[in-house]
Structures are given as C-alpha cells and as structure tokens.
C-alpha cells in the first residue's frame, strides 16, 4: 500500500530516532499513522503541545537549546504564519536545529477554505535568514529530505503535500544538489516544486504531442537555491516557466526572476501559480487547481501561448 | 549605559533590578561565569528583554565578561539581550511572550534527561497580554514542570498607560493559579521576600511550576520616574540625569 507523504516522513523519523535519543517530535494536535507509531515507540520523545503553535515553536526552541533535535508538525498556515515571530526569533535568530513539518501545500485542504490554503508560506519562510526549505515531490524525496533535515544544522521547513503520489526518483538519487532535471527541453523548461512536479511532467508529455520540447526541473530545495545549476539548466531553453501551488508573489516564480536578474540574464519567463487573491471556492485539490488554471490542459495552453508570443 | 547610548527602557529596567540582584547575588541561581554553558547551570531568561540594562551590569560584575565591555552598549550590546554577543544570556529577547515557552522547553528537556537545574523566567505584566504566555503556562502545568519559575514584574504599567486602563489583568495571581501553578505574591523590592519564596526551587515539594507575582514600582529608585507611565521609554537629560544619579547612588 502506498504511504501518504507524512507517513513516509514519520517512518524516516522513527529510523533516525531509533539511533538517536535526542530526536523529538512535537505536534500541534495533528496526527498521522506513522506518528502514532512514533509515539508508541518513543513515548518520551513525543509531545502534543495542543493547538498552540506559538508556544509550540518556543518549546521546541527550549528543547533544542539543550541539544534536542526537534521536529514540529502542523498544518502549513498555522505552523508557519501563526507563529512566524517565534520561528524568526526563537529558531532563526538562534540558529536552532528545529525542523518545521508543514502539511497541506497549496490547495491540499481544498474543502477547508482559505484559512487552510497554503499559498503564502514559501514567500514568507524564504525571507527568513538561516532557514532551509525543502519541498519534496515523491516518497523517495520525502524520505531523503527528512534525513537531510535531521542531519544539517539550523532551522528547516519541509513543505508537504497531503495524499499519495507515485515514485519518480530512484532510491539512490543524490539530493544534495537542491534540484533535479527530469527532462531537458529546447523550447521550454518548467521549473516546479512539490507535487506540482507530477503535473509539470504531464504538461511536458502534452507539449511533446504538439511538437514542443519541454524540460522539467524539480526544485525540491527552495532555499538555498542552487542558482548556478538552475541557470545552467534553463539557459538551454527559449522560455522558462514556473509552476507552483503558491501565490504568484514570492514563490518559485519570484525566485527564478531574482536569479535571472541577479545574474543579468534576460530570458522570457512565464510564472504560473495562484493569482493574488483568496479562494472562497471549495472542492478537491484537483477541482481547485482547475478553477485556478493549474490543471494540465490550461497550463499546456498557457505555455503554448507564451511560446507563440516569443 | 542608556544615557551614553541615548536609549533604553528605564521604567521597566528599574522595576525588575531588585529581582535580578536577588536571583544572582542571593544564592538562588546556580551558575559559573567562567563556564557559562555548564549544563547543570540554572537557566535565567529575562523574557521582558527591554529590561536588559538591569542584566548587563550584573553579568559583568559577576565575571561573565569584563566590565569594560559594558561600554559596547549601543553597538555590540543592545537594549534587548542576545545570546550571540553576551556571555550568560540564554536566549535572544526583544519581542514579548516567548520566554516562558522557551523556558518550558528547557525545563522539559531537563526533566527528560533527569537533570536538576531550574529555569527562572522574568516576565513583564504588559507582556502577559500576549496569548503565547498563557499557552506556555498551560503546557508547563500539564507537564508538571516543577523546576520552572515565572516571576511577573507586576509594576502595573504597560508601554503607554496603567494596565488597569489598558486591559484589566486583575486578579492576576488567581489567573496563574487557575492555570495550574503554585502562586505567591510578594513585594518585588524586598530581598528577604524574594529570597524566601525562591529558596526551595531546587527542592520542589509540589509537581506544579511556581508563579511569583512580584509587586514592583516602575522606575523604582528615581523619584520622577516612579509609577510614571511616561518613563517606559526615555533617557534622562540635564537636571533629571543629576537627580537620577543622586537618588540611585
């Protein structure tokens, strides 16, 4: 049976905790099958702080100050925005080894409405000095970024989608580069992140039917960005497009534009993401993607139009 | 220091100075100035970081760093202490409502690792408007963090006005009690009272954390600052400075 991303992640945390009693998991009253197993196996290393993200981050900081390696788990808007100041001061300013696990990227909580939609988190979290941000796309990358988050110093944020997604990486894939090139494209390269990478691959398939050569890059580490490799990859295309389940402001589209500008490279860029408004439409993630132009057909059409405009 | 750097929060600094003196010189806190990261040390958190001008001279006097370094206030040292530049400072402060949560995490880590150190957090009463203080208070009581002490510098004045005019806090001691803490109210300028209520923190007789409501006077020791909301911020000038120096000496 396929595991949800969060269960892949908490399975991996069980593996590291089995060898390291410093590992602790704090949850803001959010569950997962494998988190329950963690609780049963490592009772003293599990704390439910309640629906109290602000003190949850501060408590995590206190634990980390005495050498604990802490993971804090909650729904993205609440475990990033509600407690943003605690993340800034308690974790980032003191460079503490605490990993924030945010569940529900983009419209993952489609039925819950804009309070639960996570469309600003990349923009605000990447503005924090010291913060490392991972946005895995498949079970292998979830497992690997979890292990990296355990191993590297300082604060980290793992942006997780809900649900199950197919494997796109080999188990031995090297995730140290920060991005992966799944396909190279002469006409366009789509840079995507998280589970939108699967959509980018489907768009690439569709574009191939129209004779368009479309590359796909998975930006699974959003910060720090491997700008050198990113530029090397996208410079071979006529157009670079970004595809993300995040606001068009401040997400990976903004990151690419910053990388291009900072390196004085002028090339066409089409940013595809969520327009600058809140969505009061409710439904499945796919339905909301369709309503916001993030479905395969619409993205394919938008990229074709952008190529025609070159 | 504040005068030289032309900045500071004198009112809230003077209201907590006696508490800090009692903690550091009265045998309450266990620490080693020559080994500030000693794991068995008690953790002291000045959660109301804007009172940092009360902390720096104590740390310097005790030998955490040379007294001459106090001259770096306004450059290396800021109004709100940080643990990057200042030996003896446990956490970065400035924004309010975080110290008790961090203190709870430290205290919990000690409980998990079977350590006997205590964690003492000084909060401002204005700081207690922050909801995160009460989140942490709930957590500490639930986890029976009986080596955690919160001292509320209860001077009755927030940044702009008396707290009774801003948002009423009374009965403050009952609130901490209702959150599951042992509580006591004292005169926060009486060394015997401060020492009496804190003398047993390393040998707790109860599973509850301890909240001390320290009734204090904002601007204590300087007549024109005492109980005067306008001295939350500010630097005395000219005659005011002379008067303040005379009254404090």
**Which CATH number characterizes residue A258's domain?**
3.40.50.920
Q: Are residues A145 and A219 in the same domain?
A: no
User: Which domains, and CATH codes, for chain B?
Assistant: 2-248 (3.40.50.970)
Q: Do the Cβ atoms of A108 and A131 come closer than 8 Å?
A: no
Residues near A17 by beta carbon (within 8 Å), at least 6 away in sequence:
A23, A25, A38, A41, A42, A45
pLDDT at B144 over 70: yes
Q: In chain B, what residues touch A63 (CB-CB under 8 Å)?
A: 105-106, 108-109
Determine, for residues A61 and B105 on separate chains, whether the beta-carbon distance falls below 8 Å. yes
Per-residue pLDDT in tens (0 to 9) along chain A, 310 residues: 689 999 999 999 999 999 999 999 999 999 999 999 999 999 999 999 999 999 999 999 999 999 999 999 999 999 999 999 999 999 999 999 999 999 999 999 999 999 999 999 999 999 999 999 999 999 999 999 999 999 999 999 999 999 999 999 999 999 999 999 999 999 999 999 999 999 999 999 999 999 999 999 999 999 999 999 999 999 989 999 999 999 999 999 999 999 999 999 999 999 999 999 999 999 999 999 999 999 999 999 999 999 999 9
Domain presence at residue A173:
no
Q: Are residues A19 and A130 in the same domain?
A: yes
SS3 state at A133: strand
Determine, for residues A62 and B83 on separate chains, whether the beta-carbon distance falls below 8 Å. no
Domain presence at residue A252:
yes
- Cα separation, A97 vs B26, in Å, equals 35
Q: How far is CA A278 from the centre of its chain?
A: 20
- Cα separation, A237 vs B227, in Å, equals 69
- Cα separation, A278 vs B246, in Å, equals 60
Q: Are residues A133 and A26 in the same domain?
A: yes
Q: Are residues A242 and A282 in the same domain?
A: yes
Domain presence at residue A168:
no
Number of folded domains that form chain A: 2
If interface means Cβ-Cβ distance under 8 Å, which residues of chain B face chain A?
Answer: 39, 82-84, 90-92, 94-95, 97-98, 100-110, 112-113, 131-132, 135-136, 138-139
> From the candidates B105, B118, B145, B179, which should be mutated to test the interface with A, based on the most A CB atoms within 10 A?
B105
Query: Per-residue pLDDT tens for A3-23?
Result: 999 999 999 999 999 999 999
pLDDT at A112: 96
Q: Are residues A151 and A220 in the same domain?
A: no
Q: Which residue in chain A is spatially nearest to B99 when comparing CA positions?
A: A58
Determine, for residues B136 and A59 on separate chains, whether the beta-carbon distance falls below 8 Å. yes
Domain presence at residue A91:
yes
**B56 against B72, higher pLDDT:** B56
Determine, for residues B135 and A54 on separate chains, whether the beta-carbon distance falls below 8 Å. yes
Domain presence at residue A169:
no
pLDDT at B71: 87
Residue B177 has, within 13 A of its CA and on its CB side, a CA count of 9
Catalytic residue among A4, A12, A53, A120: A53
Q: In chain A, what residues touch B92 (CB-CB under 8 Å)?
A: 89-90, 93-94
Residue of B39, B91, B109 lying closest to A94 (CB–CB)? B91
Determine, for residues A58 and B132 on separate chains, whether the beta-carbon distance falls below 8 Å. yes
Residues near B93 by beta carbon (within 8 Å), at least 6 away in sequence:
B45, B46, B47, B48, B49, B52, B80, B81, B82, B99
Q: Are residues A39 and A112 in the same domain?
A: yes
Q: In chain A, what residues touch B132 (CB-CB under 8 Å)?
A: 52, 54-55, 58, 86
Domain presence at residue A174:
no
Q: In chain A, what residues touch B112 (CB-CB under 8 Å)?
A: 44
Query: Per-residue pLDDT tens for B16-27?
Result: 999 999 999 999
Whether cis (ω within 30° of 0) applies to the bond prior to A224 is yes
Among the candidates A131, A160, A189, a domain finishes at A160
> From the candidates B47, B84, B95, B102, which should be mutated to test the interface with A, based on the most A CB atoms within 10 A?
B102
Q: Are residues A255 and A127 in the same domain?
A: no
Q: Are residues A26 and A141 in the same domain?
A: yes
pLDDT at A1: 63
Burial of B71: CB neighbours in 10 Å, binned 0-12, 13-18, 19+: middle
Average pLDDT in chain A: 97
Q: Are residues A301 and A207 in the same domain?
A: yes
- Cα separation, A275 vs A281, in Å, equals 14
- Cα separation, B109 vs B161, in Å, equals 38
Q: Are residues A55 and A129 in the same domain?
A: yes
Strands (E), B84-192: 119-124, 148-154, 182-187
Residue A240 has, within 13 A of its CA and on its CB side, a CA count of 24
Determine, for residues A58 and B113 on separate chains, whether the beta-carbon distance falls below 8 Å. no
> From the candidates A66, A83, A98, which should be mutated to test the interface with B, based on the most B CB atoms within 10 A?
A66
Q: Tell me the Cα Rg of chain A.
A: 19
Query: Per-residue pLDDT tens for A228-270?
Result: 999 999 998 999 999 999 999 999 999 999 999 999 999 999 9
- Min distance A51 CA to chain B CA atoms (Å): 9
* Domain enclosing residue A259, as ranges: 180-308
Angle at A258 between CA A256 and CA A260, to 5 degrees: 70
- Min distance B60 CA to chain A CA atoms (Å): 22
Please name every residue paired with A215 in a beta bridge, in sequence order, or none if there are none.
Answer: A189
Domain presence at residue A172:
no
Q: Are residues A89 and A199 in the same domain?
A: no
Domain presence at residue A209:
yes
- Min distance A70 CA to chain B CA atoms (Å): 11
Determine, for residues A63 and B132 on separate chains, whether the beta-carbon distance falls below 8 Å. no
Q: In chain B, what residues touch A91 (CB-CB under 8 Å)?
A: none
Q: Do the Cβ atoms of B81 and B1 come closer than 8 Å?
A: no
Q: Is A309 a catalytic residue?
A: no
Query: Per-residue pLDDT tens for A100-122?
Result: 999 999 999 999 999 999 999 99
Q: Supply the pTM of this predicted model.
A: 0.97
Residue A224: name the closest of A87, A149, A130 by CA: A130
pLDDT at B74: 81
Q: In chain B, what residues touch A51 (CB-CB under 8 Å)?
A: none
Residue of A55, A64, A68 lying closest to B132 (CB–CB)? A55
Among the candidates A160, A193, A219, a domain finishes at A160
pLDDT at B220 over 70: yes
The average pLDDT across B191-220 equals 97
Helix axes B10-25, B191-198, angle to 10 degrees: 60
Q: Are residues A21 and A120 in the same domain?
A: yes
CATH of the domain at A52: 3.40.50.970
Q: Do the Cβ atoms of A190 and A217 come closer than 8 Å?
A: yes
Q: In chain A, what residues touch B131 (CB-CB under 8 Å)?
A: 54
Q: Do the Cβ atoms of B81 and B9 come closer than 8 Å?
A: no
């Amino acid at each position: 049976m396929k595991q949800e991303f969060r269960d892949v992640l908490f399975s991996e945390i069980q593996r590291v905790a089995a060898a390291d009693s410093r590992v602790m998991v704090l949850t803001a009253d959010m569950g997962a099958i494998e988190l329950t197993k963690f609780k049963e196996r490592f009772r003293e290393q599990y704390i439910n702080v309640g629906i109290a993200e602000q003190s949850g981050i501060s408590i995590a900081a206190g634990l980390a100050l005495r050498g604990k390696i802490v993971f804090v788990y909650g729904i993205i808007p609440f475990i990033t925005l509600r407690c943003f100041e605690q993340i800034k001061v308690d974790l980032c300013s003191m460079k503490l080894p605490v990993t924030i696990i945010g569940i529900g990227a983009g419209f993952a909580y489609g039925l819950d409405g804009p309070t639960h939609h996570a469309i600003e988190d990349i923009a605000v979290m990447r503005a924090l000095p010291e913060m490392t941000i991972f946005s895995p796309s498949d079970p292998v990358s979830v497992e690997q970024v979890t292990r990296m988050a355990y191993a590297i110093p300082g604060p980290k944020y793992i942006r997780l989608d809900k649900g199950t997604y197919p494997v796109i990486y080999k188990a031995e894939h090297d995730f140290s580069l920060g991005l992966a090139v799944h396909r190279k494209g002469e006409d366009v390269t789509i840079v995507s992140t998280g589970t939108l990478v699967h959509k980018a691959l489907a768009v690439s398939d569709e574009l191939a039917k129209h004779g368009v050569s479309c590359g796909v890059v998975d930006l699974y580490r959003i910060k720090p960005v491997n700008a050198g490799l990113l530029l090397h990859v996208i410079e071979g295309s006529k157009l670079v497009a970004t595809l993300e389940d995040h606001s068009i402001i401040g997400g990976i589209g903004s990151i690419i534009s910053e990388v291009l500008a900072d390196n004085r490279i002028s090339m066409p860029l089409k940013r595809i993401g969520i327009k600058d408004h809140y969505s009061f439409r409710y439904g499945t993630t796919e339905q909301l993607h369709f309503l916001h132009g993030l479905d395969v057909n619409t993205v394919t059409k938008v990229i074709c139009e952008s190529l025609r405009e070159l | 220091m504040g005068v030289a750097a032309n900045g500071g929060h004198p009112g809230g600094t003077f209201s907590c100075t006696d508490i800090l003196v009692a903690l550091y010189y009265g045998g309450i806190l266990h620490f080693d100035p020559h080994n500030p990261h000693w794991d068995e040390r008690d953790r002291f958190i000045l959660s109301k970081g804007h009172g940092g001008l009360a902390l720096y001279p104590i740390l310097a006097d005790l030998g955490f760093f040379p007294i001459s370094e106090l001259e770096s206030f306004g450059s290396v040292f800021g109004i709100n202490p940080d643990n990057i530049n200042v030996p003896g400072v446990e956490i970065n402060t400035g924004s309010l409502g975080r110290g008790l949560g961090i203190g709870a995490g430290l205290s919990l880590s000690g409980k998990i690792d079977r350590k006997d150190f205590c964690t003492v957090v000084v909060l401002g009463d204005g700081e207690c408007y922050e909801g995160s203080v009460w989140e942490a208070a709930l957590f500490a009581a639930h986890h029976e963090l009986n080596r955690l002490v919160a001292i509320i510098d209860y001077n009755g004045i927030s940044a702009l006005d008396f707290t009774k005019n801003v948002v009423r806090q009374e009965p403050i001691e009952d609130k901490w009690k209702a959150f599951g803490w042992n509580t006591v109210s004292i005169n926060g300028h009486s060394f015997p009272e401060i020492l009496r209520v804190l003398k047993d923190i390393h040998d707790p007789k109860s599973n509850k954390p301890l909240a001390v409501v320290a009734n204090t006077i904002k601007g204590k020791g300087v007549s024109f600052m005492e109980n005067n909301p306008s001295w939350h911020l500010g630097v005395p000038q000219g005659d005011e400075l002379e008067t303040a120096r005379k009254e404090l000496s």
